[in-house]
Amino acid sequence: MAILEVPSAFATPDLAYAAAVNGDTINIAAGSYTLALASTLAGGQYTKEVVIQGATGNPADVTISAPADSSAWILINANNFELRNITFDNTISTS
């Protein structure tokens, strides 16, 4: 189980997720991040058993958005997947 840090080790949450394996935690530092439209996620789904969290513990500190002229969707298709302390903007979330 590793802790993957955004942006110090991985420039974006997408890149950290691509490198993650089951059991890892992705810590996202305060800031605003944009989801990639051509996501590296398997079939556009979150399928790994990971924790993705805002590093500060305050959801207002970390915002993940879709590109300005579109909306993105998030499909979670994994057991033991957690999102913590993150604000999503211009996205549709489904589980």
Each residue's pLDDT tens digit, 7-65:
999 998 888 998 999 999 999 999 999 876 444 444 567 788 999 999 999 999 999 88
**Nearby residues of 78 by Cβ (< 8 Å), 6 or more positions away:** 46, 47, 48, 49, 50
At residue 38, the pLDDT reads 43
pTM for the model stands at 0.82
- Under DSSP, is residue 42 helix (H, G, I), strand (E, B) or coil? helix
Q: Is 92 a residue whose pLDDT tops 50?
A: yes
Give me the pLDDT at residue 93, please. Answer: 53
pLDDT of 44 reads: 61
Q: Would you state the pLDDT for residue 62?
A: 95
